[in-house]
Structure 1
């Protein structure tokens, strides 16, 4: 929302600066961050003590001054506006994949985006689903503990909505939120994700001890600091090997689990393979939540659990 690296002095979006950076060879895809699981509908602050000259040059801000990220995007305020921004970035990025990331809140607001996709025929290349259990040292406790929809429920719901709207084959799904084990990966893939993101676990493999001093620039392990002396705590050759080992071991565990439940290919997994136990008994996810058939939302046979929100959603407003 701060458009760092592609902004004007007043914080508005700068097309030329974006195009210059988006067309670098090392930029593979472009993600619009609408919200994140740890603090949905909340902005952010990078303290001035952490804004070195190097960071200021990269972000196009003043060195030594606190940098604010507003809670909303100044470039759009409607579902159609979001999709116009997607198309704009795709053109400026010379066709590179463009998507958006969000933590699911009111379902009717996500359905409004889907209706806008159907009306405009402008589709993101991917959607990143960030679960409410996602974490960051920059999140207020009230936000990280209380707001947003958990990852598994969000992943299942958004996957089903895309199926029901006849859009699933055109949009990739990335799922994130407390991914640390092979089973965490398995759950997300089963419920519809094409790709799984891991952030916190990789950071801990790098050496984070959750000292909760990220904002002070005094991280004791050197992970979250611009202080050159403290950054020396990270031996890149050693830590990179640890991160690689963790990544490789986690993926291996995931594949072992796939084999253990009888599948040669993770793409064959489905919601009927994941069970949840409650006081009423054990059910798979298709039994807990109503699955949708391809294009079902476009007809008259919309399940009751989806009908009211779908009929109320409008592409004109979140």
Structure 2
């Protein structure tokens, strides 16, 4: 034994490395049956797979330019990060955008910008923009709701996001006056940190289901009664990431807490089907919406990605004839979102937001229904100029998902579906979540929303308007093909946005239905950071 130990200790360090490489080579040649490259090129073949595994990181940090990456390029991410950290989010030496590219938008400024009158709410705080419309007033709901912010957190469930991420977003929403959509995974304790909440009901009816998985109205009523911060209910028909497709929550991901929140058993896969079992037709859906509104007193809306328009014509016709229906409609873009999906769905099923929204808006305009609806827009709109375009087309407020995730530290690793998110945001791994400082991240969410609204207000005032709701389809131009050059949204999409019944921001701030419980001090930003 002593001789063996003596021999081993005499082997130099490079000898050990050589021995390990020989063992790997023998294993590759004799026992590897899964990877041809490793078999044919022992040892060296491993380098190929290693480089492939870190390819996204190499491209993200070393190869791609500022405007090249998708879904969000480096310039877009940098603007969100700087805004969220209350740092300088300006850029110098002119734009590096290709201003002649297709779909590039131009905001048409006025020769005389809007001048804030004395005593205007935005003189002391330029981060305050309530929604110009209130949800539920037309249908006489018992508890109408006017969002205190025109930008809010989109539907992202506890389970898809971590507990600390949900809690950070909710506390940030409270600080900024935004609402927080629960996603279809139910109302978790982490959604109850003070922000207004939009409770989403999906096809799995999580949190409101009976033992057989059917919708249980009594559970929804109890949930609303116990949680007054729930201000509206959203019925999810489909989402941009995978419209028309259900999902499976694997048994291994169902913790005791998730089981209790969602109302599902532990130890069994849980199916979230592609369709609703509570109704089977559009008429039945409207009846279902009215039943929920009557039982809870809350505004009820629907969320969908847009494809075939025939059903939207039918829905508008029913709403016109019955004189009731959803109080708001969230239109999700086919650009996808935080939900994991097969590439064929993410890449090809449903149309991008700008096409889907304009088509649906025109339908409801045809039936003279736009005034009674609040239009919520979602689809990579978390940037002030894009938001201005959305308002010009008819949106009343904006929902952001991935942009909100970036405000709390998401680095676009695109590993949301693997439970290995390196920032701890889209994973249930407790170790990875430990890096999230809730106090810091909630303040970053607040700063992102406030700076977004401030910059959007500056654009709005530059166009001669007081509120983004006053944007018209003639205020924005969009690049088309080389032959058509650029054209207004009105000319491009073939309609004129209906005028919103807006008087003043002061009136909105004093509205009795206004949500948010705003602490105006929390909306203040450090001016030194932007000069």
Q: Same fold (TM over 0.5)?
A: yes
TM-score, length-normalised on structure 1?
Answer: 0.87
Question: Does the residue aligned with 1:178 lie in a helix, a strand or coil?
Answer: coil
Distance 1:49 1:79 in 2: 36
Residue 105 of structure 1: CA displacement? 0.9
For the pair shown, which has the larger CA radius of gyration, 1 or 2? 2
Contact 1:164/1:292 (8 A) holds in 2 = no
Q: Contact conserved, 2:473 with 2:497, CA < 8 A, in 1?
A: no
**Counterpart of 1:30?**
233
What is the CA distance between 1:178 and its match in structure 2?
Answer: 0.8
In 2: Cα distance, 1:277 partner to 1:230 partner: 43
Distance in 2 of aligned mates of 1:48 and 1:74: 22
3-state DSSP of counterpart to 1:10: coil
Distance in 1 between the 2:321 and 2:464 partners?
Answer: 41
How far apart are residue 137 of structure 1 and its match? 4.2
What is the rounded CA distance, in whole Å, between the counterparts of 1:216 and 1:63 in structure 2? 21
The number of equivalent residue pairs is 293
**Aligned pair partner of 1:71 in 271, 274, 283:** 274
1:236 is displaced (CA, Å) by 0.4
Instruction: Give 1:142's aligned residue.
Output: 344
2: CA distance, partners of 1:213 / 1:49? 18
* Among candidates 32, 43, 46, match of residue 249 of structure 2: 46
1:128 matches 2:333: no
Give me the whole-angstrom Cα distance separating, in 1, the residues matched to 2:321 and 2:373: 16
- State which of 57, 61, 67 in structure 1 corresponds to 2:260: 57
**Structure 2 unmatched ranges of 5 or more:** 1-202, 499-531
| Structure 1 residue 101 displacement after superposition | 0.3
- Higher RCO, Cα 8 Å, sep 6+: 2
CA distance in 2 between partners of 1:236 and 1:58 (Å)? 21
Shift of 1:292: 6.7
1:271/1:214 CA distance change after superposition, 3 Å: same
What is the distance in 2 between the residues matched to 1:141 and 1:26?
Answer: 37
SS at match of 1:128: strand
- Contact 1:84–1:122 at 8 Å: present in 2 too? no
Match of 1:119 among 321, 327, 330: 321
- Does 223-232 or 198-207 show the bigger shift? 223-232
User: Which residue does 2:490 correspond to in 1?
Assistant: 286
The question of whether the paired residues in 1 share the 8 Å contact of 2:241 and 2:339 is answered with no
- Deviating beyond 4 angstroms after TM superposition, the runs of 4 or more aligned structure 1 residues are none
Distance, in Å, in 2 between the alignment partners of 1:74 and 1:248 is: 40
1:185 aligns with 2:387: yes
| Aligned-pair CA distance for 1:260 | 2.4
SS of equivalent to 1:160: helix
> Cα distance 1:130–1:238, how it changes in 2: closer, same or farther (>3 A)?
same
